[in-house]
Structure 1
Amino acid sequence: MQTNGPVGKKIWILILVLLSLFCMIFFSAKGKVSIPLTNRVVITLLAPLQSFASGISNKSGSIIKNVNDLMTLHEENKLLKNEVIKLREQNLKDSELAAENKRLRELLNYKQSAKNFQLVTASVIARDSSTWINNVVIDRGSNDGIKKDMPVVTPAGLVGYIIEVYDNYSLVGLITDPRVAVGAMVQRSDSRVAGIVKGDINKKAEIHMENIPRSADVKNGDQIITSGLGGIYPKGIFIGIVESVKNEAGGLLKYAVVKPAVDFQKLEDVAIIVNSRRLPPEQLIKQMQRAADGQQLKREGVPK
């Protein structure tokens, strides 16, 4: 009998359908009607199909189990990722709190040790975005007793002075601003050379000590402090360290490149000197020496 072509395919499909129906009737009746011969013959004929069906069933069960396992792993992975994010956020908060506590402790220690100053602490809340004007905004104003021209410091040294005051905030002119001039002097006892510290318009983070005679005794490593001249800054506040000394072109003067004691890129908390009194010389020397020693340890990488 020819079974090729569309007719042959239809015959095979019909046979498979009939065979499937027979199987369904047989297995549904199995256990209710006993037909030994037929049972044996049918089981023999259908054993391969039953084995195939059983294999598919087992594989389906295995696939379903694997899918469930994958879904479980996905959920666990999602939970773990969320936990990692929470731990990172908590770690950042803890690190920020630790850094803030360290800064506030340093300010408190400075406030207690600077007996000649009455200080009000403040936080930097904004920075001027101009290319060469170096100003910051702090969260203290006239309501806190802040007035124009009050000096601003940190435990490391001089920051600048108050140039504008509002009710709840103030604008601070930094010593790196070329418009801010600070009366300064070399702390070394056998020098005591005086000059003016100003910011460099071409180098935002650099300051210079200017108006120094070429014959004056200023050298690398000298510590520069406020001279007390000019009526704004009390004498003896640490400004920075001389990094190099250069002659001005065509003149009788030279200037010193000074590395500021304060890292203005990391400036977050400051103290405003709202009142000051002159200390006895021996106490003033000790205070300046403590500031200088702190800077020396910082340069050498030794923790205070």
Structure 2
Amino acid sequence: MTRKRKIVIFILILLTVAAAALVVISTSSDRLDGFFRALGTPVRAIQRGITKLGDNWGKKASVRREYDAVQEEIERLTRENEELRQKEREFNQIKAENEELRRLLEMRDRTEGYELLQAAVITRDVTDWFNEFTIDLGTRDGVVNGTVVITSYGLVGIVYNAGSSSAKVRCIIDEQSELMCRIQRNDELLRVRGTSNENFTAGLKADRIAKTAALYVGDVIVTANSGGVYPPGIVVGVVTEVGVDEDGNRFATVSSDVNFTSLTTVTVMVPKTAAEPDNK
């Protein structure tokens, strides 16, 4: 074999080996790509899951922060609302007290000669809820049996059991109460009695009305200067009904503007000429 022929054969062998190597490399590359592609699918799924989980946690954290912020705002508004309600209650109380004082000032011509003391209702008689109550003033304040109790809306009653620091008051609607009054419009006399009963209803009834007396629905009834117990001119109520009973006697139903069931404060009329309060 000539030298030239050997060289040609050698070159052909090299080319064959190179071609075979390329084939092997090409095949291996495809397999590796397939392997990595197969491996990448679950990896990417896991990555997407982790990413989604992170997004969900982020959203939940954001929602939680927003919820906490809303709760704080609700609590703040609740506090502000309660503060406003408290201020409204205080305002209404002051307004009511001012209205009471204004109306009492309008009565000054009927309360001349008396010192007007404000008293709080501290207890009520459980058996006579409408009719009797106890106030926080007593003999040391100049309050004695027979002291008259009013509000700016009219006559309430009279003290019947005065202690040192408190006193019991019997309301005019009590069935034991009776007083002489006048028709404000014409000064005609009549008697007004309490009509409380076991059904927890109470009112006022007028009788001993002269047949010639002009008495109509809407007439204002006031205290008369009779017996020296009640000062004259204190409003007792307004006539709501006029009639004749089975014996032919005239009567009238009188309605008071005083709300006896919700009294919390009253005004006590202590004569300025009364003896000094008992401070013992």
| Interval containing the TM-score (normalised by the shorter chain) | 0.7 to 0.9
Hey, what does 1:135 align to over in structure 2? 132
Question: Alpha-carbon deviation of 1:142?
Answer: 2.4
Hey, what does 2:4 align to over in structure 1? none
Hey, what does 2:251 align to over in structure 1? 255
| Residue deviations 1:215-266 (CA, integer Å, cap 9, x gap) | 53211011000012233210100111100112222x2322211110212234
| Residue deviations 1:142-169 (CA, integer Å, cap 9, x gap) | 2322212111111111111112223332
Hey, what does 2:271 align to over in structure 1? 275
Higher CA-based Rg: 2
Aligned partner letter, 1:270: V
Say if 1:110 and 1:133 are closer, same or farther in 2 by CA, change over 3 A: closer
Hey, what does 2:5 align to over in structure 1? none
Hey, what does 2:71 align to over in structure 1? 78
Question: Alpha-carbon deviation of 1:82?
Answer: 2.3
Hey, what does 1:206 align to over in structure 2? 203
Aligned partner letter, 2:93: E
Aligned partner letter, 2:47: S
Q: Which moved more, 1:75-84 or 1:46-55?
A: 75-84
Hey, what does 2:85 align to over in structure 1? 92
Counterpart-to-counterpart distance in 2, 1:230 and 1:199: 22
TM-score (norm 2): 0.75
Aligned partner letter, 2:66: L
- RMSD over aligned CA atoms reads 2.6
1:224 aligns with 2:217: no
Relative contact order (alpha carbons < 8 A, sep ≥ 6): 1 or 2 greater? 2
Structure 1 segments, 4+ long, off by >6 Å, are: 36-39
1:60 aligns with 2:41: no
SS at 1:69's partner residue? Answer: helix
Structure 1: runs of 5+ lacking an equivalent = 1-35, 278-304
Equivalent residues of 1:214, 1:252 under 8 A apart: no
- Equivalent pairs, count: 240
Counterpart-to-counterpart distance in 1, 2:249 and 2:210: 5
Hey, what does 1:166 align to over in structure 2? 163
Equivalent residues of 2:130, 2:200 under 8 A apart: no
Which of the residues 113, 117, 120 maps onto 2:117?
A: 120
Equivalent residues of 2:120, 2:135 under 8 A apart: yes
Hey, what does 1:12 align to over in structure 2? none
Equivalent residues of 1:186, 1:218 under 8 A apart: yes
Structure 2: runs of 5+ lacking an equivalent = 1-28, 274-280
